[in-house]
C-alpha cells in the first residue's frame, strides 16, 4: 500500500496550481513556478534551458485559435531530505483541426531558497 505524505501533496498542489495559472492565462505566473535555468525536454525539440523558452512557447500557443491543452498530475513523490521531488501525469493537446494527441510528462522539483521550483520537465508523445 502506498501512502501519500503531506509533502507529496505539496507537489500535487503545485502541479494543479500550474494548470490553474495556465487556464487563467497567467503564463508569467505559471513560469514563476519554474527555476530560471529549468531544463525542458519537449517532443521534437532539442534540450532547452531557461524558463523564457517555456514562456515563449506558451505565448505562441495561446495565439493559435482552436488549440487546446490540458494536463493533470497522477502521482508525486518527495525525497527523504524533502528538498527534491518528482511528479508525473498526462497531457492532452487538441489541435485546431480536431486531432487529439496524448502525451505523458515527468517534472522534477527542487527547493530553491526555501521554495519549490520546477527544475526539469520531460514530455513525450504516446504515439
For residue range 100-114, list pLDDT tens digits in order: 999 999 999 999 999
Asked if the model's pLDDT at residue 3 lies above 80, the reply is: no
Task: Give the pairing of strands 115-125 and 34-41.
Answer: parallel
Distance separating alpha carbons of residues 102 and 76, to the nearest angstrom: 20
Q: Give 91's strand partners.
A: 71, 103
Judged against a pLDDT cut of 50, whether residue 1 lies above it is answered with no
Q: What is the mean pLDDT of residues 117-124?
A: 96
Q: Going edge to edge, which strands form the sheet with 68-78?
A: 48-49, 34-41, 115-125, 100-112, 84-94, 68-78
Q: What is the pLDDT of residue 5?
A: 57
β-strands 100-112, 115-125: how paired?
Answer: antiparallel
The predicted-structure confidence for 69-83, as pLDDT tens digits, reads as follows 999 999 999 999 999
pLDDT in tens, 12-62: 999 999 999 999 999 999 999 999 999 999 888 899 999 999 999 899 988
Amino acid at each position: 500500500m502506498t501512502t501519500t505524505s503531506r509533502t507529496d501533496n505539496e507537489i500535487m498542489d503545485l502541479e494543479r496550481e500550474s494548470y490553474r495559472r495556465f487556464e487563467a492565462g497567467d503564463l508569467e505566473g505559471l513560469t514563476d513556478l519554474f527555476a530560471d535555468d529549468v531544463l525542458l525536454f519537449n517532443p521534437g525539440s532539442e534540450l532547452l534551458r531557461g524558463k523564457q523558452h517555456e514562456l515563449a512557447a506558451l505565448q505562441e500557443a495561446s495565439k493559435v485559435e482552436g488549440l487546446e491543452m490540458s494536463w493533470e498530475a497522477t502521482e508525486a513523490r518527495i525525497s527523504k531530505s524533502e528538498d527534491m521531488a518528482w511528479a508525473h501525469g498526462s497531457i492532452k493537446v487538441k489541435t485546431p483541426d480536431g486531432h487529439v494527441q496524448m502525451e505523458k510528462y515527468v517534472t522534477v522539483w527542487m527547493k530553491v531558497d526555501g521554495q519549490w521550483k520546477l527544475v526539469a520537465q520531460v514530455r513525450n508523445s504516446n504515439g
